[in-house]
Amino acid sequence: MEDQPIYHEKQRLQFCLLHALNNLMQEKDSFRRVELNAIAEKLVADDPLRAQWTPLSLIFKPHHNVFTGNYDVNVLIAALESRKKKVVWHDRRNGASSINLAEASLMGIMLNIPVKRLGGLWSGKHWVTLRLINGVWYNLDSDLSAPVPFKHQEELIQFLNNVISQGGEILIILHENL
């Protein structure tokens, strides 16, 4: 059996969720901006509190920032559910060692990590994908120039514990049909 080549989409503007999803799916254009925008718009249309929005809510939409390209977790969940994937929040009170990395239905791990840019003047969140490919876990962060392999599972657990300690969120992505 031949090793699968690693697909790694690099950061462009602030579309890190788009890049992280394509890295998770290991396919160029598995998701596109137009699809994520449509998901965000549907989430807005379905919002039961929409009547309480202010005029600024039309500019700074709750699920997608049209100026920066940022998408929130609701777009991630809806996008992955459209591909028959299940998203499970990891309880941050438990260490990363509680994640069953050998689970047959585990597709990958998505991280939402705090970042500071422009010398600390701008802070935000960044989506990152971790995925097991050819028996090796990789950090497929779109800010990296290339995928970075974890040497062993303990290094991955340590990395995830660091994400938790820095205020990041861990989302476990599962195949639904196993």
Which domain CATH number covers 40?
3.90.70.40
**Domain assignment present for 122:** yes
Number of domains in the chain: 1
**Domain assignment present for 128:** yes
**Domain assignment present for 84:** yes
**Domain assignment present for 22:** yes
Which residues are known catalytic residues?
A: 16, 126, 141
Closest-CA residue to 9 (of 172, 138, 114): 138
Closest-CA residue to 77 (of 93, 91, 63, 60): 63
Name the residue range of residue 104's domain. 16-175
Average pLDDT, the chain: 83
DSSP 61-108: -SSB-TTT--B-HHHHHHHHHTTTEEEEE--TTS-GGGS-TT-TTEEE
**Considering only 54-58, 77-81, 134-138, which range has the smallest mean pLDDT?**
54-58
**Domain assignment present for 7:** no
**Domain assignment present for 5:** no
**Domain assignment present for 4:** no
Reply yes or no on whether the pLDDT at 64 is more than 60. no
Q: What tens digit of pLDDT does each residue of 20-33 get?
A: 999 999 999 888 88
